């Protein structure tokens, strides 16, 4: 079993226009993908609020044996290709939260 959770800029404003909230997987994988699409300009407060509102509860329900995390740089405010405004401090906070969550399961 695999669950993919993605917090990213809304596909309406970012190429390649994938990661819509209604894209949840297909066939046997239906329900295995959760896309949290954030508006362009989302900063630390909104990004952290979205993470903490969605990820811990999903992991509590899923009860993973292993977390494999990928923390892309496209959320960073200096990324020239995306339109989010997240700081290194917020990214570090999410990584620390993932570490704590990994030890719960």
Number of domains in the chain: 1
Residue 43 in 3-state DSSP? strand
Establish how many alpha carbons lie within 13 A of residue 89's alpha carbon, considering only the half-sphere containing its beta carbon: 3
The boundaries of the domain holding residue 67 are 4-102
Looking only at the bridges linking them, the beta strands covering 33-38 and 4-9 are: parallel
φ, ψ of residue 97 in degrees (nearest 5): -65, -40
Dihedral Cα 64, 89, 43, 5, nearest 10 deg: -10
For residues 48 and 5, the answer to whether their CB atoms sit within 8 Å is: no
Q: What tens digit of pLDDT does each residue of 28-74 get?
A: 999 999 999 999 999 999 999 999 999 999 999 999 999 999 988 88
If one compares 1 and 39, the residue with the highest pLDDT of the two is 39
């Amino acid at each position: 079993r695999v669950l993919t959770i993605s917090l990213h800029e809304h596909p309406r404003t970012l190429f390649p226009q994938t990661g819509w909230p209604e894209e949840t997987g297909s066939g046997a994988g239906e329900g295995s993908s959760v896309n949290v699409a954030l508006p362009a300009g989302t900063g630390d407060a909104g990004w952290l609020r979205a993470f903490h509102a969605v990820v811990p509860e999903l992991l509590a329900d899923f009860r993973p044996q292993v977390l494999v995390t990928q923390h892309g740089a496209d959320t960073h405010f200096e990324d020239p290709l995306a339109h989010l405004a997240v700081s290194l401090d917020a990214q570090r906070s999410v990584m620390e939260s993932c570490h704590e969550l990994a030890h719960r399961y």
